[in-house]
């Protein structure tokens, strides 16, 4: 059995190291930036998808490969010329989609697979946030999704008909994935989603359909919106939150939009859109210079500071281990200034668990750049009794 998986462009080396560490019996095969395939031994095939999806920090998607389709030049039409406009190239490509769809359904029929849902995505052309690129479904991929549905051999191999390519899969559905690797080259895969997998695995390409609003004051809005949906933290009306390194305020905006009350600590200026919000207070300065008594009612902390992971953890440790802060959880980034810093992840997680967090999850989210998102939560309410049990 071959699996394919996708990740952020640039993260492949550290992702491969993670796969080698977690699954030493997997054998690497075809790969491209942002896309890796590997062979799984027969005895591990049964649980490989859910094991991989649950344990990998860097995987956005995973599926059993049904093969690769390379459209011939004649299928695509003549090759791109310098004078061709972008829309002409797109029209030419979408013109091949009915042909491609028939080839894909022929593979599905040969394998006698009953499909409930279709995911279409492409290998990212760039890292997120670079030259304005953000991962997501392009109009062209939406067209491919529609044409695949139109050409499906209903009802024998296609169960639930869903027109919206952004709609999340439901537990136990079988998903057909079609991945554009390069122009005219597609990988076809199949997987089912079991309950409890990280939220990404329910969406096409592992990409939550999030669009940054016009009034967002920074790109950090995207990663904290995605981070909150991924973590499932129940932050809502009246919850007291602390945003360390809040300026200009994108992360705070996400909390405010959920009705939370936010203390934003930062020596830098906060954007007036956030500063003037009635539930926001700016505490100007570095976190170490501020009075601890300000944080007595804080339930949730978010932070995104441009420092090495151990320094971020030093900043958080001092607050997270105080008995007078009724903390429920923390959502924060760890900056991987060198990708190799990810090798210390087990030690970072140990540190967090030593502070009494009983659930610590780490993921490179789609809108994270060269960094990881961490969600650490107290499942049991924090109390002096529980502290005795959990703080070693």
Strand 329-335's sheet: what is its strand order? 280-284, 261-266, 240-244, 300-303, 329-335, 371-377, 359-363
Q: Nearest 5°: CA angle at 167, between 164 and 170?
A: 130
In terms of DSSP H, where are the helices of 178-246?
A: 220-231
Contacting range for ligand SAM; rule: CB under 6 A; set: 149-157, 182-190, 243-251, 360-368: 243-251
Among 189, 248, 329, 356, binds ligand SAM (CB under 6 A): 248
Whichever of 47 and 306 has its CB closer to ligand SAM, that residue is 306
Which residue, 37 or 252, has its beta carbon nearer to ligand SAM? 252
The rounded distance, in Å, linking the Cα atoms of 316 and 251 is 17
Q: Please give the residues from 146 up to 165 whose contact with ligand SAM meets the rule CB under 6 A.
A: none
Residues 213 to 242 in contact with ligand SAM, rule: CB under 6 A = 218, 220
- Pick between residue 188 and residue 220 the one whose CB is nearest to ligand SAM: 220
Residue 352 beta carbon to ligand SAM: minimum distance, rounded to whole angstroms: 19
Nearer to ligand SAM (CB atom), residue 294 or residue 389: 294
The residue number with the shortest CB distance to ligand SAM is 245
CA distances from 167 to 96, 104, 117 (A): 25, 21, 10
DSSP state of 176: E
- Residue 244 in contact with ligand SAM, rule: CB under 6 A: yes
Q: Which of 20, 156, 286, 296 binds ligand SAM (CB under 6 A)?
A: 286
Other Cβ atoms closer than 10 A to 72: 8
Going by DSSP bridges, is the β-strand pair 35-39/27-32 parallel, antiparallel, or unpaired?
antiparallel
Using CB under 6 A as the binding rule, the residues of this chain from 291 to 320 that contact ligand SAM are 304-307, 315
Among 9, 115, 120, 246, binds ligand SAM (CB under 6 A): 246
Residue 204 vs residues 27, 34, 108: alpha-carbon distances, Å: 25, 15, 18
Q: How far is the CB of 345 from ligand SAM (least distance, A)?
A: 21
Q: Do 187 and 173 meet the contact criterion of CB atoms below 8 Å apart?
A: no
Residue 199 Cβ vs ligand SAM, minimum distance, rounded to whole Å: 21
Confirm or reject binding of residue 249 to ligand SAM (CB under 6 A). yes
Q: Least distance in Å: CB of 312 to ligand SAM?
A: 9
Q: Binding pattern to ligand SAM, positions 250-279, x when CB under 6 A?
A: xx-------------xxxx-----------
User: Is 128 one of the binding residues for ligand SAM (CB under 6 A)?
Assistant: no
The nearer residue to ligand SAM, 153 or 272, going by C-beta atoms, is 272
Nearer to ligand SAM, 192 or 290 (CB): 290
Whole-angstrom distance, CA of residue 9 vs CA of residue 12: 7
Residue 232: CB partners within 8 Å, gap ≥ 6? 199
Size of the site for ligand SAM (CB under 6 A): 21
Whose tokens are 């930062």? That residue is 266
Q: Would you say 179 and 189 are in contact if contact means Cβ atoms under 8 Å apart?
A: yes
Q: Using the rule CB under 6 A, is 207 a contact of ligand SAM?
A: no
Coil, helix or strand at residue 275: helix
Q: Which is nearer to ligand SAM, 223 or 299 (CB)?
A: 223
Angle at 279 between CA 277 and CA 283, to 5 degrees: 90
β-pairing verdict for 371-377 and 329-335: antiparallel
Between 246 and 260, name the residue whose CB sits nearer to ligand SAM. Answer: 246
Cβ closest to ligand SAM, residue 170 vs residue 281: 281
Interacting residue ranges for ligand SAM, rule: CB under 6 A? 218, 220, 244-251, 265-268, 286-287, 304-307, 315
């Amino acid at each position: 059995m071959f699996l394919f998986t996708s990740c952020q462009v640039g993260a492949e080396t550290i992702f491969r190291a993670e796969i080698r560490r977690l699954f030493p019996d997997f054998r690497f095969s075809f790969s491209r930036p942002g896309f890796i395939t590997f062979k799984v031994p027969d005895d591990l095939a049964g649980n490989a998808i859910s094991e991989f999806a649950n344990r990998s920090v860097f995987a956005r998607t995973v599926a059993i490969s049904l093969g690769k389709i390379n459209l011939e030049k004649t299928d695509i039409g003549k090759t791109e010329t310098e004078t061709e406009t972008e829309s002409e190239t797109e029209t030419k490509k979408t013109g091949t989609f009915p042909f491609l769809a028939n080839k894909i359904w022929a593979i599905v029929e040969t394998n006698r697979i009953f499909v409930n849902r279709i995911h279409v995505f492409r290998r990212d052309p760039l890292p997120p946030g670079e030259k304005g690129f953000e991962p997501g479904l392009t109009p062209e991929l939406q067209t491919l999704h529609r044409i695949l549905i139109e050409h499906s051999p209903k009802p024998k191999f296609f169960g639930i008909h869903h027109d919206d390519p952004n709609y999340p899969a439901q537990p136990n559905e079988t998903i057909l994935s079609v991945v554009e690797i390069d122009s005219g080259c597609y990988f076809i895969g199949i997987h089912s989603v079991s309950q409890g997998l990280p939220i990404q695995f329910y969406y096409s390409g592992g990409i939550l359909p999030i669009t940054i609003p016009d009034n967002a004051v920074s790109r950090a809005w995207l990663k904290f919106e995605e981070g909150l949906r991924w973590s499932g933290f129940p932050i809502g009306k009246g919850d007291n939150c602390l945003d360390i390194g809040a300026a200009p305020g994108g992360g705070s905006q996400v909390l405010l939009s959920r009705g939370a009350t936010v203390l934003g600590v930062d020596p830098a200026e906060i954007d007036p859109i956030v500063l003037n919000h009635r539930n926001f207070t700016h505490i100007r300065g570095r976190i170490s210079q501020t009075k601890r008594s300000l944080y007595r009612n804080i339930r949730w902390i978010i932070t995104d500071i441009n420092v090495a992971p151990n320094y971020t953890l030093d900043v958080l440790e001092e607050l997270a281990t105080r008995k007078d802060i009724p903390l429920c959880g923390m959502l924060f980034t760890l900056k991987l200034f060198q990708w190799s810093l990810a090798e210390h992840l087990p030690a970072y997680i140990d540190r967090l668990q030593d502070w009494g967090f009983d659930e610590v999850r780490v993921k490179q989210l789609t809108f994270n750049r060269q960094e990881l998102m961490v969600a650490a939560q107290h499942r049991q309410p924090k109390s002096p009794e529980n502290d005795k049990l959990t703080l070693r």
